[in-house]
Amino acid sequence: IMQAYEYGHAYSELNLTLETGVYGSTFYMLTGFHGFHVTMGAIMLISILGRSMKGHFTPHNHFAFEAVAWYWHFVDVVWLGLFVFVYWL
């Protein structure tokens, strides 16, 4: 929801489009690609929550839980880099 607001603001008030130059296309590509991965991570977390509530994980059998946790941490780290690259530089 916040990303849609930001895209609307960038398009209407800042006149930032894919055709306005390298920054516009880079901005939409990086934030859109990251938004896709955040959405996929949220879906995976909801799936893992459902599986854990059904008792699918044990102390010895929890690879999916750990893999989703690693994925989500990677998405967090990428967000930090994107924030610095897109909004500070």
Rounded Cα distance, 17 and 64, in Å: 39
| Residue 6, CA atoms < 13 Å, CB-side half-sphere | 11
Overall domain count for the chain? 1
Rounded Cα distance, 43 and 27, in Å: 24
9 vs 2, higher pLDDT: 9
Integer angstrom CA distances of residue 26 from 6, 21, 64:
15, 9, 33
**pTM for this prediction:** 0.82
Report pLDDT digits (tens) over 51-87.
Answer: 999 999 999 999 999 999 999 999 999 999 999 988 8
CATH number at residue 41: 1.20.120.80
Q: Residues 24-48: what's their mean pLDDT?
A: 94
Domain range for 37: 2-88
